[in-house]
Structure 1
Amino acid sequence: MSAQSYAGDGAYPPSYYAASRNIERTPVRLEGEVTADIVVVGAGYSGLSSALHLAEKGYKVVLVEGAAVGWGASGRNGGQVVNGLNASLDTIKRRYGDQTASFVGGLIQEGAGIIRDFVSRYDIDCDLKTGNIYAAYTEKQMGELRDKQALWRRYGMDDHELLDATQIRQHIGSTVYAGGMIDHSGGHMHPLNLTLGEARALESLGGVIYEHSPVTGVTQANGKATVTTANGRVIADTAIVCGNAYLGNVVPELTARVMPVSTQMIATQPLGEERANALLPTGMCVEDVRYILDYFRVSADHRLIFGGGVVYGGTDPADVVAKIRPNLVKVFPHLADVKIDYAWSGNFALSFSRVPQMGRLGQSVYFAHGYSGHGVTGSHLFGRILSEAIHGDMTRFDTFAALPWIPFPGGRVFRAPYSTLGSWWYALKDKLGL
C-alpha cells in the first residue's frame, strides 16, 4: 500500500497552516525491519503525545506515519485549546455515574497543561495564546453557559467568566451574540507547528519517525506487536494505534467504532493589525455553543481563520468557500468582500457517544481515538494516560477503557445517513432557538 491509498503523495493539504509552517522535515520512509520498545501508528497529537511521554521515560520509540507529521486533523484543525470532552460532564454523569463524572472532571483541564508544558520545555514556536470564548446567540444558550459554569465549579474548575451582551462586544467586534463565557484556561495556537515541534522534541530524545509509510497491518504474536508497511515492519514489545479518522480498515476491530466527519475552514488575506484587532480586541479564540457550531480566531499574521460545518462520512464539499463564507459574513458583515487566501477540509473521528475511546487489543496493542471534534486537549491527555499504562500504572487507563462504546445505528453502511439526519434535526433546533 502506498501513500496514494488515502493521502495522495503524502504532501500537506493546501491549508494556511501548511503554508506557514516553521519547520521543514525531510521524510524518511520505513525500509526493512526495525525493532523498538514501542511502535506508535500515527503522527498526530495522540501518537506524538504517547511517543513523547514514553521517550521521556526512557523507552526506545518508533513512530510510523502514512503521510507527514500532523498531516491529518492535528495539523489542520481550528487551533483552539478547548477544555473538556464533546460529551458534557452532565452527560457523562447521567450515563456513567457520579464517580466517573468526578474522575473526568478532575482531568479535563490536564490536556491544555500538557500542551503548555511541551511548548515551554521544548521551546516550540506555535503562537500559543491564552483564553477562549463560548459565544451564545440566545438567552436559552446563556442559561446553558451559566449551568456549565456552575457545574464545572462543582468539579473544582473556576476559570470561567460570564459575559453579557455588552461585555462580549469588548472581545468580539460583532453584534450577533447575546453573551458568552470566557475560559481563561483555554487558548489557541498554530496546530501544525505544534505537531512539528513535538516531533522535533521526540527526535531530540532518541525517538525515530518514519513518514510516507502507510501501515498495512498491525498484528501480535509471542508477546510482540508488529506494524507492517509496504516496504518494512517494526517489531516492538507494544504498539499504540492512533490513526483516528485516517486509520481506515488497517485494524478491523476498530473500524466500526468511529466515523470520519469532515469539517471546513477558511483563512482570509492578512487584514492588518488594526483591522484584525477590531474583530477580536483581546486576542482570544471563539466558538459558539450551537450543535453545528462556528469557530474562529485571528492568526499571528492578522488573518481571520474561520471554520465550521460538518459532512458525515468524511467527504469534502465541492466548494469550501461557498459553504463557510456565509457563516463568516453572518458574524462579521463588513467582511463580505474580504479575499479568502486558503480553504481546506479535514476529518475528525466521531464516536456515537461523543466520548473518546481508549483500550487494548490482546496484550500488546493499545489504541485511542474518537475525540469527536474536541481532540486538541483530549489527545494530549490520552497520550499521557497511554504512557502511564504501558509504564505500569493502569489506574486512569482502566477507567476509560471500561466505558462502554456504543455502535452507530445501522452499522457501518448506514452510520453516515443516520448521523446526517440527526445533524439536520439539531441544526433545525439551533435555527429555531429550541
Structure 2
Amino acid sequence: MQAHRQKTLWTLTANPAPALETASIPRTADVVIIGAGFTGLTAAREIAKSGKTAVVLEASYIGAGATGVNAGFVVPNFAKADPATVYQKLPRGKADALLRLVGEGADTVFSTIREEQISCDANQVGWLQPAYGTATADLLRKRTADWQALGRPVRFLSPQEVEQQTSLSIYSGGLLDESGGTIHPLNYAMGLAEAVKRHGGVIREGAEVRDVRQTSGGWTVIFTGGVIQAGAVLLCTNAFTTGAAGRLGRTTVPLRVYQVATRPLPRETVERISPNHRPVGDTRSNLFTYRLDRDNRLISGGMAVIPVGAFERIGKAVVDRLVSELRLEQHPGVEIVWTGVAAMTPDFLPRLHEFGRGFFGGIGCNGRGIAMTAQLGRVLARAALGEPLETLPVPTVKARPLPFHAFTPIVASAALAHARFKDRMMK
C-alpha cells in the first residue's frame, strides 16, 4: 500500500507526476533496483542506457523518502569530512578516486538535467560555506587548497566578499564551490523517472520488497503483488528499515530534519541577502542554512531536541532565526513545514555493501543527498553490470547493523543540544 504523500513546498509546486501505473513487471530482469529515490533512479537510468533490463520497485511513491523532502541544495563535498579526513582513512589511490567522484557530483547532476531536459528549476550558481570564527576560516582555507589540488572550481572568499553575498558581517571568510547550486528535488526525481522509462526501464510504485533470496541463477525478489528473477539486485533505500531495506537502514544513524519555507520575500531583500541566489550553509555546530526558490521563498531547516510538537515549534524557530540572522525588514511568516530523515554513516563517508554475489547496496550521502546520490547510483550501476568492486571509487564495507539502532535518535538529540550550547559559547 502506498503511504499518504506528505505535503511539502515541492508537492505544492511540482510538475505533473509521470504515468507509471501501466508498467507491467517482467518475470525476469538483468537488474532489479529496490527504491525509486535519487540513487535508485540514477542507477536504473545508467543500466537502461547500457541496454540491460532495469526494473525499479518502490515501496511507496517517487519522492517518498529523503529524495522528495530535502531542501534542494546541490553540494559537491562532505558535510562532516574533508579531503584530509579521506586521505587519513583510505589509501592514496582510493582516496583520490573517491574525492574526484564527490567533487564532480554537482556537475553530474546538472549535466544529467541538461541531457534529459528535466524541468526542475536547476540553478548552478555555486555553493557558499561561510566560516564562523578564525579557526574555522583557517580550516576552510586548507580545504579550499585540497579541492583546488584536485582540479575543482573552489576558492576562498574574504570576509568582505562573504558579506557582499550574504549581507552578514559575522563571518571570517568562506569557501565557494562554483559547481554547486539548487534544484527542485521532486521535479528532478520525476524527471529521472521519465528518463528511466524513456531508456526502456520499468518502475512500479506501491511494490514493497519483502525479501531477496539467492538462487542458482541469481536472485528472487519477492515484492507486494509478485515475484521477479534478477541477475543482480541493487538496494537503494537509504534510511528506511522495513522489509529488505533494513539491511541498509540499520547500518546508519537516522537524523530527523525539518525543512521550512517562508512566504516570498521582496525583491530588494533578495538582492541584499542573496544577489546571486547562491545557497548558503555555514560552519556552526547548529548549522545555519538558507536558499531561495524560484518565487523567492526562503528555505531553511533545523532539528528538534524534543520531537513532540516539533512542526509548529521548529517552523517558528527557523523563520525567527532567519529574520534575526539576515536582519529581515519584515517577518515573512511560515508558509509550510515538512520533515524527512537523513542517514549518517559512522565515519561520514559513503560506502558500498555486498550482500551476496550480485546483490549490492549503497549509502552514506550524510546530508549531501543530491550530488552524492548522482555518483552513488552510477557506481552501483557499474557494480551491477559486473565491474570488480575493488576498482570502484566508493569503498566496500561489510554491512554491520548499529547496536541499539532504535535509540540512536536520542543520541542525536543530545548531540544537537550540545551543538547549540557550543555555538552560544562562541558568541
TM-score between the two structures when normalised by the length of structure 2: 0.91
% identical equivalent positions: 26
Decide which of 24, 43, 66 is 1:73's aligned counterpart.
Answer: 66
State the shift of 1:100 in Å.
Answer: 3.0
Q: Is the 8 A contact 1:74 1:191 kept in 2?
A: yes
- The whole-number CA distance in structure 2 between the counterparts of 1:335 and 1:237 is 59
Q: 1:179 to 1:220 in 2, by over 3 A?
A: same
- The whole-number CA distance in structure 2 between the counterparts of 1:226 and 1:211 is 19
- The whole-number CA distance in structure 1 between the counterparts of 2:203 and 2:308 is 29
Q: Is the 8 A contact 2:197 2:203 kept in 1?
A: yes
Q: Is the 8 A contact 1:294 1:309 kept in 2?
A: no
- Who is 1:225 aligned against? 219
CA deviations over 1:175-232 (Å, ceiling 9, x no partner) = 4433322111111111111111111111111111111222222222223223322322
- Who is 2:149 aligned against? 154
- Who is 1:129 aligned against? 123
Decide which of 28, 50, 57 is 1:57's aligned counterpart.
Answer: 50
Range 255-264 or range 410-419, more displaced: 410-419
- Who is 2:78 aligned against? 85
- Who is 1:24 aligned against? 17
Q: Which runs of 5+ in 1 are unaligned?
A: none
| Aligned residue runs from structure 1 range 278-427, under 5 A | 278-309=272-303, 317-319=310-312, 320-334=314-328, 337-394=331-388, 398=392, 400-403=394-397, 408=402, 410-427=403-420
- Who is 1:138 aligned against? 133
Amino acid at match of 1:244: N
Range 387-396 or range 131-140, more displaced: 387-396
Q: Is the 8 A contact 2:68 2:186 kept in 1?
A: yes
CA deviations over 1:262-302 (Å, ceiling 9, x no partner) = 11111111224343233201111111112331221111111
- Who is 2:257 aligned against? 263
Partner SS state of residue 129, structure 1: coil
Range 32-41 or range 237-246, more displaced: 32-41
Partner SS state of residue 195, structure 2: helix
- The whole-number CA distance in structure 1 between the counterparts of 2:128 and 2:92 is 28
The Cα RMSD (Å) is: 2.6
Range 102-111 or range 190-199, more displaced: 102-111
Q: Is the 8 A contact 2:72 2:183 kept in 1?
A: yes
| Aligned residue runs from structure 1 range 237-276, under 5 A | 237-276=231-270
Decide which of 22, 28, 31 is 1:35's aligned counterpart.
Answer: 28
- The whole-number CA distance in structure 1 between the counterparts of 2:206 and 2:398 is 34
- The whole-number CA distance in structure 2 between the counterparts of 1:150 and 1:404 is 33
* Aligned residue pair count: 424
Decide which of 181, 185, 188 is 1:194's aligned counterpart.
Answer: 188
- The whole-number CA distance in structure 2 between the counterparts of 1:85 and 1:304 is 23
Q: Pick the structure with more strand per residue.
A: 1
Amino acid at match of 1:141: T
CA deviations over 1:398-418 (Å, ceiling 9, x no partner) = 55343467764x532443333
Partner SS state of residue 67, structure 1: coil
Q: 1:255 to 1:339 in 2, by over 3 A?
A: closer
Q: 1:58 to 1:106 in 2, by over 3 A?
A: same
Amino acid at match of 1:237: G
Q: Is the 8 A contact 1:358 1:397 kept in 2?
A: no
Amino acid at match of 2:132: Y
Range 195-204 or range 60-69, more displaced: 60-69
1:119 aligns with 2:132: no
CA deviations over 1:357-390 (Å, ceiling 9, x no partner) = 2121111311111321112111110111111222
TM-score between the two structures when normalised by the length of structure 1: 0.89
State the shift of 1:108 in Å.
Answer: 1.6
Decide which of 163, 171, 185 is 1:177's aligned counterpart.
Answer: 171
- The whole-number CA distance in structure 1 between the counterparts of 2:258 and 2:409 is 17
State the shift of 1:344 in Å.
Answer: 0.6
- The whole-number CA distance in structure 2 between the counterparts of 1:226 and 1:354 is 32
